[in-house]
Structure 1
Amino acid sequence: MGSQVDRRVTVGIVADPGVPTEIAERLAEEVPDQLRSRVSEDVDWRVLASSEELPLGDDGTIDIAEKAEEKGRSEHWDLLVCLTDLPRIEPAGAVVADADTSSGAALASVPAIGWIRLLPYARRVVVHLVGLLARGTLGIASDRERDGYHSGAWGVFGVRIRQVRSSEENIDSNLVLPGRVGRMRLLFGMVRDNRPWWLVPGLSRAVAAAAGTAAFGVFFPSIWSLADSLAPVRLVLINLFAVAVMVGWLIVHNSLWERPGGGAAVHKTRMYNAATLLTVSIGVLCMYVLLFGLTALGSATVISPEYLSGRLGHPATPLDYLGLSWLASSMGTIAGALGSSLETESAVRRATYSKRERERRARRRREQRESGQA
């Protein structure tokens, strides 16, 4: 016989579109069992997921108390957990989550949760937050304290998360990843959330220009001889130079680099710029790998081993094909970089957090003006 259920609690998870929504939909299925085993068996836990862009105020914060009140009226939710794709950086470290027991609401930052095994870590954070809210808002005592879910410090992905009292208004406590390790985890999470490999479709013109130049290298024997004479170290340097040229051009041409402000905004701006640099670099590297694969396939198809051997003056090997493809791809990347651009607005938004944040603030102000006029 199972234990008698004393009450029903409905937990709503409101998530930003994209990765947070994907996580929320999975958590809605998995978290009820975790809450029964980790928080209380005497509660019938219902977890519902909703996808909507969380409004951002002029101060860069999300008013979870307002959202909890709204959802409480419209959806009759008892507790609210918001999942956002926007990061939060404080001098003490990366902020994983905030909790406000007075309103029964919490906010978790998906980039700060992690970049590998994201779902298990997100589940652990959400269960922890619901436990805090259930105890502080609804008076439900946890019967699973032994696991450390509600203690002052606990671990996620090998880093100790500290639960600290918040100095912010309407926030009781913060979950913080302290120090440089926490900031690095946040940075990798931001890059993962940007999904840099999706930048490649936004570089179609650059890919076309690069492929045309790389084809030149495949068809002209002088490039074969040059590639054969270059040491692997020099080919690596040419490769890195080509990628750096394209990354630099894309960042400057699309105005992706943020100028640091003053005070606490410096940490945030540096993190945003680092995430942009890594995102664009990985996207360009993905483009380079695609170009290299196409060039290698083309060279193997067009150039016979006998003809290549005659031009090089020694028997041709697979390494010779790889070398000329490598040099031709680097040449193509440099040619494709100059004048290239991220061709869609979604590609620009994906490359930088700051632009998405400004857009959300602008939408919030516009909605407030429209509601005031109404």
Structure 2
Amino acid sequence: MTHSEQHGPEIVVGLVATPPDHPARVAAGLTAELAGRLSEQVDAGVRWTVREGWGEVAPRRDGGAEALLDDVAQRRTDARWDVAVCLTDLPLHTERAPLVAQTSARRRVAVVSLPALGLSQLRAARAVVPDLVNRLLTDASDQRVPPAGWAPAETASRVAAIHRVVGEADGGELRYVDSRLTGRVRLLTGMVKANRPGRALLGLSKLLVGAFGTAAFALTTDTIWQMGDALGGLRLAVIMLLGLTALVAWLIVAHDLWEKPDRETPAELARQFNLGTILTLALATAVSYLVLFAGTVLAAALLIDTSVLEQTLQRPVDFTDYLTLAWITSSLATVGGAIGSGLENEDTVRAAAYGYHPEPGGWRDERDG
């Protein structure tokens, strides 16, 4: 909760994060400074009060932005806020293009889809939320602040994700939309960030340990040395990609991470969730592979003497031969690591599923705030 120091009419702005996971962290970073930004950008004579609250653990999926706006409007009425802005990690669309934000002056609420903002979500939220609050108050004819002296489309110059604004400006029902091509790319990268791949990487720690144990054992067999020497770079690359693909597929199947369309989850949204899950796991497993590769190179250099390797391969060797040996060993070890992934804590692995939101430990819903 933040209060500005000026005396004058008070305007209470509610900032709702749903689900209380990644959106809550963005909201926490924004809440501390939102009152000051509203004072600078909207009206310094108003006493701005920002109240932070948490929405549902699993927000409604079947109604898109309109359902979120209805839910937040009810929350705003119950909490007696003047306006409310919802931050969500749901990927929203309108006219087959990613929806960045939507305002409703009638309901005095707005919703912002964080994934549509791309990678710099907090920085973009700092720019767009004060504009949305100003727009809501202007379109709702709130006399406590002067009317906004700019058109809604000017927000696009401050937020790269906003390509155009559509809707009824007079009625205050506005949709801020990204482009179809670059917007989809930005949305996917934003979904991966919202899914926190670092959390998935930490969740695969046992897998990495198991794979490294498999790699260390494989390094002691000269058959692997000869295989690495015989295979070319293209075949080694194919083996690596097959190993990583098999690992991602195994994680999805073994831990039931695949989102299935149902009455509450439209087919398009399920596809978006599954793509976000695949990309998150692909990034986490790729980083794990690099860590495994680096460890295997070090182990090979320490365990295998150059003279022994030369005797087995019957030719002079250099450091690239150790890299090749680590390459094939790491690729084969990822398959062994996949078996070890079955030993992972279920919650840590399921956290990689984009549509999965565990009960928030430590968060509290300030419905009376």
TM-score bracket for this pair, using the shorter chain length? 0.7 to 0.9
Q: Deviations over 1:100-158 (max 9, x none)?
A: 2233222212112222x22221111211211112212324334552xx5x337614664
Helix, strand or coil: the match of 1:219?
coil
* Aligned pairs, number: 344
Matched, 1:65 2:73: yes
2:247 equivalent in structure 1: 246
Q: Which segment drifts farther, 98-107 or 118-127?
A: 98-107
Does 2:207 align with 1:206?
yes
- Matched-pair contact (CA < 8 Å) for 1:94–1:183: yes
Structure 2 equivalent of residue 371 of structure 1: none
How far apart in 2 are the matches of 1:156 and 1:331?
48
Gap change, CA 1:324 and 1:185, over 3 Å in 2? same
Aligned to 2:52: 49
Say which is worse superposed, 38-47 or 99-108, in terms of deviation: 38-47
1:260-291 Cα shifts (integer Å, max 9, x gaps): 569x9333222222112111111211221222
C-alpha separation in 1, matches of 2:176 and 2:350:
28
**Aligned residues: CA RMSD:** 3.0
1:127 to 114, 130, 134: 130
Q: 6, 9, 16: which one pairs with 1:7?
A: 9
Task: Indicate the SS of the match to 2:86.
Answer: strand
Q: Distance in 2 between matches of 1:58 and 1:178?
A: 22
CA contact (8 A) 1:39 1:144 kept: no
CA contact (8 A) 2:206 2:340 kept: no
Distance in structure 1 (CA, Å) of the matches to 2:14 and 2:244: 44
Check conservation: 1:202, 1:342, Cα contact below 8 A: no
Alpha-carbon distance in structure 1 between the residues aligned to 2:82 and 2:343: 44
- Counterpart position of 1:278: 279
Partner of 2:24: 21
Structure 2 unpaired stretches of 5+: 1-5, 360-369
Equivalent residue for 2:296? Answer: 295
Residue 324 of structure 1: how far off its partner (Å) = 0.7
CA distance in 2 between counterparts of 1:55 and 1:326 reads 42
User: Aligned equivalents of 1:84 and 1:153: distance in 2?
Assistant: 20
Question: Which residue of 1 is the match for residue 351 of structure 2?
Answer: 350
Gaps of 5+ in 1: 361-374
Change (3 A) 1:228 1:8: same
Q: Report what 2:93 is aligned to.
A: 89
Superposed displacement of residue 12, structure 1:
2.3
Q: 1:26 to 1:204 in 2, by over 3 A?
A: closer
Instruction: Please say if 1:141 is aligned against 2:149.
Output: no
1:14 CA drift (Å): 2.0
Structure 1: how far apart are the matches of 2:343 and 2:181?
Answer: 32
Give the whole-Å Cα distance in 2 for the aligned partners of 1:280 and 1:346.
15
Residues 1:351 and 1:39: Cα distance change in structure 2 (over 3 Å): same
Instruction: State the SS of the aligned residue for 1:40.
Output: coil
The aligned residue for residue 98 of structure 1 is 102
The alignment partner of 1:123 has SS state of helix
Counterparts of 1:180-219 in structure 2, within 5 Å, are 180-219=181-220
Following superposition, the deviation at residue 192 of structure 1 comes to: 1.0
Which has the higher mean CA deviation after the structures are superposed, 198-207 or 320-329?
198-207
Dislocated runs of 4+, deviation >4 Å: 259-262
Q: 1:253-332 alignment to 2 at 5 Å?
A: 253-259=254-260, 265-332=266-333
